[in-house]
Amino acid sequence: MRHVVVGTAGHIDHGKSALVRALTGIDPDRLKEEKARGITIDLGFAHAEVEGVDVSFVDVPGHERFVKNMLAGATGVDLVLLVVAADESVMPQTREHFEICRLLDVGAGVIALTKTDLVDEDTRELAALEVRELVAGSFLEGAPIVPVSSVSGEGLDRLRHALAAVAAHVPHRRAGDVTRLPVDRVFSVRGFGTVVTGTLVSGVLATDDELEALPGGTRVKVRGLQVHGRSTSRVEAAQRVAVNLAGVDVSDLARGISLVAPRTFETTRRFDAVIDVLTDARPISHGARVRFHQGTSELLGRVAISSIDQRDAALGAENEVRPGRRALVRIRLERPAVVTRGDRFILRAYSPPATIAGGLVIDPSPPKGPIRTAPGRARFKAMAPAGDEDIGSPTAIDRALMQVLRERGGEGIASSALVARLGLTFDDAAHACERLSRSGLVARAGDVLLAEEVVTVLAQRVHEALSAHHVADPLSEGLPREELRTRVFGRAPADVFEHVLDRLVTRGDISARDRIALRSHQVTLSDAERRAVARVEDAFARAGLRPPDVASLGADLGLSDADVAQALRLLQRQKTLLKVETLLFHADALEQLKRDVRALRVEGREATVDVAAFKLRHGVTRKYAIPLLEFLDRERVTRRVGDARIVL
């Protein structure tokens, strides 16, 4: 069965709740105060099957004091039922609710002209004419206007048919989208524990699913699900659902949190957006404090203007967004929010509260930096959809992804992070990566995505670092891998480092072993240098396990200290000389030592070595004996037991 969520909208006392009750047989007013005062204060819910469509009604309050509750109810609405009383026609909250639905891009709806039993035909027609004037040029232009009476039942069947007809053209929500449930109610049920309700705006929910409650990051488990009071094991997008949660108390949750699939969304206190200011609103000034409404949350924040309509900019009005204009802005919130690219939101004035604008998130986590400079404004334009372009179109996605990748440089971004950063489904993220990889704009390093131009820059920096090293130390066989990674790649993931090296190796530009060097580099020694190296090596080879003192080696061999230092570096890189603690030994001497000690072990008999015996056998002092015995332990030739060592 097709599922749609219908939200009511309209002025107080225009009959929204009565109409929902007449259509469904369910009273959406659940609070004692609502029944006592005869007005809707908080969200109400009802449901009915209408011509084969499962319709969930979200009934919202019409009083101006409760618009924030209305905004929470507008979350996840597929179409709006705009309710206008024929005896009063269009009123202030009619206009505000209609503008909110338009700004939230609801997209479709039906208009119910209620209380027709109280007026004559001329009054009906006049009210319908005023409604048509209100919605002209909007998503409700051409929407059916159905005269109804919740008292007499007039027009109810026509209204049901109109709702079903409009619902048939509402785009399906994809079950493969990422799971996201903005919570509008939290309560406890005896014997069950914590229960939350909301409209599943995307993805699916199933019993035993693990979710993350954001903000906060609390992990919860789905113990049970109910839709319209009936238990079920699975819920799809566009359904109202009650979720029994394990692992969390009622006091830990509240309206405004979102239940999401783990590691798919992130919280933010700073995001970039496109906003549209209402034509009858006050201008929004740079730095203005506003009330931010998205999903079921309400937060306070401030608006920083990046760029405004060119007509206003030409007049020098760059510090405010005028009524009826569009602007690119950065919003800084006072508390974390769960938003991603493509989310719609509403801005209301801080005081007195009134709806002033609606917006579209274009980047939920922009980098810090100036937003009113030429580069800052260019960045906004790269992230924002162009003209009438859909923010979810391949062109808009690719442009935004390339902007993010250029900004992140060598750090890149994990493909799995595109869900949170760019508001993509896993499928859309995979398609975008494939498109840009085929076009040669994006490279993959494991799970990390990089702009191809960034890879080119990193490769050039590797060349420069190696060239500088070879000039400074021509006898070096290359830079150690870790030193090159730290110097050139900084905080970039290891996969990025290896990807760039592999590319340079494949191209034949470098050789990459323990040390990294340009393929063209060769260690070349002059005749004098070769003689110096040979004399130093010979000195260590003849000394065996009693190596010469490095400090006096130059004087003993008739070489300068610089010649000795250079020879020692080269011999160590070639592993001809090996360092044991602070001493240098010829590699051949150490290998011979290991063979001699292993030879002490006669098959079937245990052999031990102590310091005194070692000194006597090899003719060395304690200065050399202790480091050499510890070297044998590390090489697993011996194992220390007390004051002696067992030959392994």
Ramachandran category for residue 42: left, alpha or beta (phi over 0 → left; psi -120 to 50 → alpha): beta
**Contact partners, residue 496, CB within 8 Å, separation at least 6:** 410, 411, 412, 445, 448, 450, 458, 489
Encode burial over 589-602: b for 16+ CB neighbours within 10 A, e otherwise. Answer: bbeebeeebeeebe
Q: Give the pLDDT confidence score for residue 66 in this predicted structure.
A: 54
Q: Give the pLDDT confidence score for residue 262 in this predicted structure.
A: 92
> What are the structure tokens assigned to 532, written together?
């110096």
Q: Give the pLDDT confidence score for residue 40 in this predicted structure.
A: 59
Structural domains of the chain in order of their starting residue, each with its CATH number: 2-167 (3.40.50.300), 180-260 (2.40.30.10), 451-518 (1.10.10.10), 532-648 (1.10.10.10)
Cβ-contact 345, 298 below 8 angstroms: no
Strands 638-641, 230-232: pairing is: unpaired
CA separation for the pair 494, 448 (Å, rounded): 10
Cα–Cα distances in angstroms (integers) from residue 87 to residues 14, 99, 120, 128, 545, in the given order: 9, 22, 9, 11, 109
- Torsion, Cα of 113, 118, 122, 128 (10° steps): -10
Evaluate the omega torsion of the peptide bond into residue 352 and state whether it is cis, within 30 degrees of 0: yes
pLDDT in tens, 161-181: 999 999 998 887 665 688 999
Cβ-contact 488, 458 below 8 angstroms: yes
- The residues of the chain scoring below 50 in pLDDT are 34
Q: Give the pLDDT confidence score for residue 64 in this predicted structure.
A: 59
pLDDT in tens, 22-49: 999 988 776 556 455 555 556 788 899 9
The end-to-end CA distance of the chain, in Å, is: 75
Evaluate the omega torsion of the peptide bond into residue 474 and state whether it is cis, within 30 degrees of 0: no
DSSP 8-state class, residue 202: B
In three-state form (DSSP H/G/I as H, E/B as E, the rest C), the secondary structure along 469-511 is HHHHCCCCCCEEHHHHHHHHHCCCCHHHHHHHHHHHHHCCCEE
